[in-house]
Amino acid sequence: MKMVKSLILGSAAGLVAMSGAQAADLPVKAKAVEYVRICSLYGAGFWYIPGTDTCMKIGGYLRVDTTFNGGVYNAPAWNGDLGQHNRYADNINSRSRMALTVDTRTATEYGVVRTFAQGDFQFNNFGTTNPATLTGPTNSNLLNGPGGGYVAVEMVFIQFAGFTFGKSASAFATPWHGYPGNTSSFLMGGHDTVTGVNNIQYTAQFGNGVSGTIGLDDPTQFHRTSIGNLTTVNAFGAGTQGYAGFMAPEIVGNIKIDQAWGLFQLSGALHENRAAYNLPSGTAGAEVFGHPETKWGGSVMAALQIKNLPTGAGDDIKLDATWSKGKTKDVISTSGGSPSFLMYGDTGLGGAYQSIGFGATTDAVFLPVTAGGDSTLHLTEAWGVRGAFNHNWDPYWSTSVYGAYTAVRYSDEAAGIICARIAIVPVAGSTCNPDFNTAQLGAITRWTPVKNLTFSAEVMWFHLDQKFTGAALFAANGPKPAAVYEFKDQDTVSLQVRAQRNF
Number of Cβ within a 10 Å radius of residue 108: 10
The pLDDT assigned to 28 comes to 55
Structure confidence at residue 68 (pLDDT): 96
Instruction: Please choose, from the candidates 111, 115, 107, 116, the residue with its C-alpha nearest in 3D space to the C-alpha of residue 54.
Output: 107
Question: Would you state the pLDDT for residue 33?
Answer: 59
- Contacts of residue 174, defined as CB under 8 A and 6 or more positions apart, other chains included, come to 190, 191, 265, 267, 301, 303, 318, 320
Q: What number is the average pLDDT over the span 316-332?
A: 98
Calpha distance 165→466 (Å, rounded): 42
Band (pLDDT 50/70/90 cuts) for residue 281 is: confident
To 5 degrees, how large is the angle CA 493–CA 239–CA 293?
Answer: 125
C-alpha 379/C-alpha 454 separation (Å) is 44
Gyration radius (Cα) of the chain, Å: 30
Q: Measure the CA–CA gap between 329 and 408, rounded to whole angstroms.
A: 11
Q: Closest Cα partner for 83 from 358, 360, 338? A: 358
- Please name which of 328, 308, 306 lies closest in space to residue 317, comparing C-alpha atoms: 306
- Decide: helix, strand or coil at residue 92: strand
Which DSSP category does 286 fall into? Answer: G
pLDDT at residue 39 in the model: 96
- Weakest mean pLDDT among 10-24, 135-149, 297-311: 10-24
DSSP letters, 375-428, are ---EE-EEEEEEEEEEEESSSSEEEEEEEEEEEEE--HHHHHHHHHHBS-EEPT
Q: What does the alpha-carbon distance between residue 454 and residue 462 come to, in Å, rounded to a whole number?
A: 25
Express as a percent the part of the chain with pLDDT over 70: 89
Q: Which band of pLDDT confidence, cut at 50, 70 and 90, is reported for residue 29?
A: low
The predicted-structure confidence for 216-237, as pLDDT tens digits, reads as follows 999 998 899 999 999 999 999 9
Query: Which residues are CB-neighbours of 137 under 8 A, at least 6 positions away?
Result: 336, 337, 339
433-464 core/surface letters (b: 16 or more CB in 10 A; e: else):
bbbbbbbbebbbebebeeeeebebebebebbb
CB 399 within 8 A of CB 391: yes
Domain spans in the chain, listed from the N-terminal domain onward: 36-502
What's the predicted TM-score (pTM) here? 0.89
Proportion of the chain above pLDDT 90, given as a percent: 83
The whole-number pLDDT of residue 126 equals 56
CA distance 379 to 4: 112
**Domain 36-502: CATH class, spelled out:** mainly beta
DSSP alpha helix (H) spans, 202-321? 219-222
pLDDT at residue 395 tops 80: yes
